[in-house]
Amino acid sequence: MKTSISKAIGQALHEEMVRDENVFILGEDMGVMGNVFGITRGFRDEFGAKRVIDTPISESGFTGIAVGAAMRGLRPVVEWMYDDFITVCLDPVMNQAAKLRYMTGGQITIPVVFRAPIGAGRRNAGQHSQCLEALFTHIPGLKVVCPSTAADAKGLLKAAIRDDDPVVFLEHKLLYAKQEEIPDGEYIIPLGKADVKRPGKDVTIITWSRQVYFALEAAQTLAAEGIDAEVLDLRTLVPLDWDAVRESVCKTHNVVIVEEGVKRGGVGAELSAQITEDLFDELDAPVGRVAGMNVVSPFSPVLEDAEFPHPEDIVAGVKKTLGR
């Protein structure tokens, strides 16, 4: 059945709240309004105000509350209205949620999910358009998920809610309305498992989130020119499915990493370094990177569209790596 990504996320939240009374959600406009994207519409009427909590505009406060609730055995799902707002609540995420299981010698777990929309393309300007997954991947103790499809979003979110460690779950705003087939019934997609969205033999395009679709479009263009590109959707950045990366690289011997986030210090930089360190002898050319510019996201539509990669940029990046 075709379902939008936003509805698939809502289904995952609903099914987990029905399954486990310890699951509750909190964030700005989550209750009466049902989320700014309509994901939790009707939840407050069904589950009540104690499990669907409308919070003040105080990310640091309600994020800290969620971490404390997780320490006591509940399973909160926090929504930051935009991932940019991590800047006002990094302490309870970085210094508490990410570290407490280790610092207590495993005496407590922190089963909390931090959900947030990411990405440019909606003309939301500098404080509402970032892709900050690289920031989260740098923090030991956090798991980081970036789904691209409705089926992946639902299966991965259910896995994240059941996980005993803190999970940052990042959803691209421009994918919410995208409709795709999802399986019927209960299913879970384990964290740390990448997915080959398109097999190929000449070059591996490694990506995640919205750039998966741009990579697939680029692969079609490349195919018309005799270049067979494999598109590997990481889905989970931490834990990384290194086995899938290694298998694809050893098959194609050429790699281009694509991300919407800024190039400097990005996830692609770390992946490139790891591939170069561990799989150098498998490479026919240096690892290529196609990423966002090192600029503040502009409001101007023309400038914003130039800021992050599009299919033609990926095509150019692949050809550069292959020396075409």
Q: Which of 16, 28, 128, 260 is catalytic?
A: 128
Beta strand extents in the chain (DSSP E only):
2-4, 23-27, 52-54, 75-79, 113-118, 143-145, 167-172, 179-181, 195-198, 203-207, 229-233, 236-238, 255-262, 288-292
Amino acid present at 210: R
What does each C-alpha distance from 62 to 54, 76, 80, 120, 283 come to in angstroms? 10, 11, 10, 26, 47
Q: Are 133 and 160 in contact (CB under 8 A)?
A: no
Residue 59 annotated among the catalytic residues of the structure: yes
Give Cα 265 distance to the centre of its chain.
17
Whole-angstrom Cα distance, residue 319 to residue 277? 23
Whole-angstrom Cα distance, residue 276 to residue 243? 15
- Quick check: helix, strand or coil at residue 143? strand
Whole-angstrom Cα distance, residue 222 to residue 300? 30
Residue 14 annotated among the catalytic residues of the structure: no
Question: Residue 79 forms beta bridges with which residues?
Answer: 27, 115
Q: Which of 28, 59, 171, 307 is catalytic?
A: 59
Which positions are catalytic?
A: 59, 128
